[in-house]
Amino acid sequence: MGKLAYDLGNVYQAPGIVLPNTSALFGVMQRSLEEIAAYPGIVATPFQHSLEAIDQVSSRLGQDRSQREDAALIRREFALAVHLLRHACQRGLLALETDAARKSSQSDQLGRDMDELLADYQAIWLERNRPGGLQESLAYFIPYHE
């Protein structure tokens, strides 16, 4: 699990985009599709590379031999992190989509995906934390929930 955490923690480097005090994938979750598409020099390749890196790391999820009491919860937390990272990549790719019909369909799909992510996030939060702070944490994902 330690190696998995380390590798998953370094996925932020896969896009090759360096931003001060944040990561490109977190930034994608914080900005509108229009803001993402308008970012100077933005192209699909970094998001595709990130998806490959996420898939490579996440393929090891569930192969651990953890004996911890909370091992199942830890696996759920890692799965949620993987899901969030994949969603960010898909959102970045959506921002760059030029076909209106495909963009509309993908936007609807990502909206449903975000609903699922928010439900999982809330459930996992409440397994590990007190309710205080949950709404503030969820608010990071709400502004551009599309």
Secondary structure of 56-88 as H, E, C letters: HHHCCCCCCCCCCCCHHHHHHHHHHHHHHHHHH
3-state secondary structure (DSSP) of residue 136: helix
**145 within a domain of the structure (yes/no):** no
Number of structural domains the chain divides into: 1
Kindly state whether residue 146 falls inside one of the protein's structural domains.
Answer: no
* Rounded Cα distance, 6 and 55, in Å: 15
> How many residues appear in the chain?
146
- Which among 9, 126, 115, 117 is positioned nearest to 58, based on CA atoms? 9
144 in any annotated domain: no
What's the pLDDT at 84? 95
Note whether residue 143 is domain-resident: no
Residue 90 belongs to domain spanning: 2-138
Q: Is residue 52 part of a domain?
A: yes
84 occurs within a structural domain: yes
Each residue's pLDDT expressed in tens, for the chain with a length of 146 residues: 888 899 999 998 888 887 778 888 988 998 899 999 998 888 999 999 999 999 999 999 888 888 899 999 999 999 999 999 999 999 999 999 999 999 999 999 999 999 999 999 999 999 999 999 999 999 888 755 54
26 domain-assigned: yes
Q: Is residue 79, in this structure, part of any structural domain at all?
A: yes
Q: 18 pairs with which residues across the strands?
A: 23
Task: Record the pTM.
Answer: 0.90
Q: What is the CA radius of gyration of the chain?
A: 16
**Any residues with CB less than 8 A from the CB of 5 and at least 6 apart, and which?**
78
Q: How far apart are CA 24 and CA 27, in angstroms?
A: 5
pLDDT at 63 (0 to 100): 87
